[in-house]
Amino acid sequence: MTGFPRKHFLEISIISYYAVVKRKTKTALVKLDIRAVAERARVSIATVSRTVNGIPSVGPDLAKRVWKAIEELDYYPNTQARGLVSGRSRLLGLVISEITNPFFPELIQGFEEIAVENGYEILIGSTNYDPKRMNLVIRRMLERKVEGVAVMTFGIEEPLLQQLAERRIPLTLIDFDLPSPLVSTLRVDYGAGIGQAVHHLAALGHRQITFISGSATLHSARARVDAFKIAAKEARFSPKDARIVEANHTIEGGMLAFERLQARGELATAIMCSNDMTAIGVLRSAFSIGLRVPRDLSIIGFDDIRFAQFTTPPLTTVQMSRVDLARTAFFALRDHGEIPLKATTPREYTIPTKLVVRQSTDVPRDSLKRN
Amino acid sequence: MTGFPRKHFLEISIISYYAVVKRKTKTALVKLDIRAVAERARVSIATVSRTVNGIPSVGPDLAKRVWKAIEELDYYPNTQARGLVSGRSRLLGLVISEITNPFFPELIQGFEEIAVENGYEILIGSTNYDPKRMNLVIRRMLERKVEGVAVMTFGIEEPLLQQLAERRIPLTLIDFDLPSPLVSTLRVDYGAGIGQAVHHLAALGHRQITFISGSATLHSARARVDAFKIAAKEARFSPKDARIVEANHTIEGGMLAFERLQARGELATAIMCSNDMTAIGVLRSAFSIGLRVPRDLSIIGFDDIRFAQFTTPPLTTVQMSRVDLARTAFFALRDHGEIPLKATTPREYTIPTKLVVRQSTDVPRDSLKRN
DNA sequence: ATGAAAGCGCTAACAG
DNA sequence: CTGTTAGCGCTTTCAT
């Protein structure tokens, strides 16, 4: 009987918005608010409120009466009223690029889970890579008085966020710095996973690797390219042997990039992709011209979306945990929000990445090791 | 200047929660509510409210003053307060099975789009096929005072919905009847698409088709099986030649089902799957034992998820438009909500399906037509 | 056409 | 410990 402060109410039975109550000889439809509970429990509404919020100062007998009344009436509090008076909405915003990109549903799932566990609800907004939509999305969230926003899009619009940050609302960004007290950033350690990938390929005997990047306009795509460059250099690939071409993080983009490479006779023995969708496109195009993966061509993806396990062959890829991302984003937001304006919370979190070796990589096609 | 009744406010600039206002000689942080706007425009708060809500009785000059003040202050209304007093939350619930099932993101996208266009926000809840979670999900939505819930899960729990329906909240279900004034149902016309698929196969010369269904506990899975049975009968397949085996709508399930079939020597020349994920699993398993699709085996999916275009070979499948589904669900909800309790809105909508022929179907492997 | 005032359902001082 | 009361920011009568 300790109350469910802001948690989801009444776990057992479904609740009626209206309760049927006998009054005199007539049956009337009565609004089911805190007052109704108070009357029935013969206490003040303040006591009901305290009970519901688990404030310890309520005497055990009264509390029992209140809970009894609550159950009998199937009462549950009105979130809007709670939010209005307390100034807290228990709402968090999650901004993503587009929900049909398989990367995001897994992120959303993780975020929703942890948020709901903690009594928050989430509002999702997709930008579809359009800065104007980003603007609108954020406005919607502001109107709903979200207590924090996680901007998990691939491309981030500096000026927009700048304004958001000035609005005194906690913000969590991915791969993007914004020096402001309520902003924290999740820094993905691209270097780790991409480094492993390059070394994996080098160890296999590959002397040339082509990296198919995402759009250079996207922050996170550039970060991956940079990580690749560094890794390639460390592994002593010359720039010529570590060519970089640009695609757009879609299957079609991957197909196109591959076909262009192939048409120009520039096919390396190994291709690394900036994300799994691109890799899937490459896989598909390679297959359609009769190349066998990994015998004729090694392919590595990035993200480790669930589907990567089910390509043919299963895709070797760099894993970045969406669940980590989601949980970290949530706690970053919450920690900046719960103790408002207390500016001691860390501003930066690192998200690890690591190579997952499956079956799309092998020794190069002309390798002596094969003989 | 007609007002933005409940639409997203101030489309141009990002708004400050606090506005910096000169007062006497000091710069002060002032709360930005309707009163601030009223003061600045030298009108009453009632007038501001009317202006904002586009109520025509406001004189044009006053309206202009109000809008000017609104813009200067970057004011936007507080949704919680609005909701509290008006009893409307402009929130709609969308219950799905699980967001990582590629079927749903496309549905969500459609639903979100149309909802936002109409000034609604959506709350998403995933049941993960667990009735208990369904219960919780719905409770969350009730607490937030959603104005309607679209339950688009594959499996539907009758008693739960029954209680929901009694709660006077508009409900839209998929493939599920619930005789209640505020409940509408979207009836997917499985027969059409599945019929076309069976006939397509029959016309190609297939004499045996195996149907791999989803879990029989799911309503929508059963509906697909039933449609298949009818179509097979119409096409004069004997029950023996139109075998049905059960899987679970996942890639793994499809792989398993195929392997079982293959191990028992029960492989038909054509396999129809209850959804695309299953078909992808079958495709993958078939490939791994050296079967070529469609030469050795024809495969048809269901749903037409986006990825179906990118399998190898591209998947012939029955298309059910998620956008249709989403839009229809939205309007069904809205029409039951806007004119509260007016019970003349249609209760039933049909969602069409149709076969999309791609490259995973061909004449059977032993067909004379090939020679 | 405009304003004053009464709440919406709840929380949070402030009394006792 | 418990109750009374004053709003949270807004919409909506009811006057004018």
pLDDT tens-digit readout, A1-49: 333 444 555 333 333 333 333 332 233 457 889 999 999 999 999 999 9
Q: Is the CB of B59 under 7 A from strand C?
A: yes
Report the pLDDT value the prediction gives residue B367, as an integer from 0 to 100.
59
Banded pLDDT at A130 (limits 50, 70, 90): confident
Higher pLDDT, B125 or A88: B125
A310 CA: distance to closest CA in chain B (Å): 8
B220 CA: distance to closest CA in chain A (Å): 22
Report the pLDDT value the prediction gives residue B343, as an integer from 0 to 100.
55
Given a cut of 60, is residue B214 above it in pLDDT?
yes
The tokens for B354 are 């149709």
**CB-CB: which of B100, B138, B140 is closest to A109?**
B100
Given a cut of 80, is residue A155 above it in pLDDT?
no
Given a cut of 80, is residue A370 above it in pLDDT?
no
The least confident of A15-24, A227-236, B289-298 is: A15-24
Average pLDDT over residues B344-358: 89
Report the pLDDT value the prediction gives residue A344, as an integer from 0 to 100.
60
Report the pLDDT value the prediction gives residue B345, as an integer from 0 to 100.
64
Q: Is the CB of A81 under 7 A from strand C?
A: yes
Q: Is the CB of A29 under 7 A from strand D?
A: no
Q: Is the CB of B46 under 7 A from strand C?
A: yes
Angle between helices A219-234 and A190-204 (to 10 degrees): 40
Cβ neighbour number for residue B357 with a 10 Å cutoff: 13
A7: nearest CA partner in chain B:
B140
Distances (CA, A) of B25 to A312, B18, B37: 72, 18, 21
Alpha carbons B101 and B115: distance in angstroms, whole number: 22
The tokens for A284 are 């598909």
> Nearest nucleotide to A86 by CA–C1' distance?
C11
A13: nearest CA partner in chain B:
B135
The least confident of A139-143, A319-323, B289-293 is: A139-143
Contact A77/B164, CB-based, under 8 Å? no
Banded pLDDT at A340 (limits 50, 70, 90): very low
Per-residue burial over B113-136, b if 16 or more Cβ lie within 10 Å, else e, is: bbbbeeebbbbbbbbbbeeebbbe
Average pLDDT over residues A164-175: 84
User: How buried is B83 (Cβ within 10 angstroms: 0-12 exposed, 13-18 middle, 19+ buried)?
Assistant: buried
Contact A100/B105, CB-based, under 8 Å? yes
B166 vs A contacts (CB less than 8 Å): 16
> Nearest nucleotide to B86 by CA–C1' distance?
D11
Banded pLDDT at B24 (limits 50, 70, 90): very low
Report the pLDDT value the prediction gives residue A322, as an integer from 0 to 100.
95
**Averaged confidence pLDDT in chain A:** 87
Q: Domains plus CATH for chain B? A: 7-85 (1.10.260.40), 89-189+322-351 (3.40.50.2300), 190-321+355-370 (3.40.50.2300)
Q: Assess A307–B contact: CB distance below 8 Å, yes or no.
A: yes
A240 CA: distance to closest CA in chain B (Å): 32
Angle between helices B60-73 and B45-52 (to 10 degrees): 90
Alpha carbons B186 and B151: distance in angstroms, whole number: 10
Higher pLDDT, B165 or B232: B232
Banded pLDDT at B9 (limits 50, 70, 90): low
Strands, sheet with A316-320, edge to edge from the N-terminal-most edge strand: A242-246, A209-213, A270-273, A298-303, A316-320, A353-356
Q: Assess A11–B contact: CB distance below 8 Å, yes or no.
A: yes
> Nearest nucleotide to B50 by CA–C1' distance?
D11
The least confident of A218-222, B207-211, B270-274 is: A218-222
Residues found in chain B: 371
Q: Assess A117–B contact: CB distance below 8 Å, yes or no.
A: no
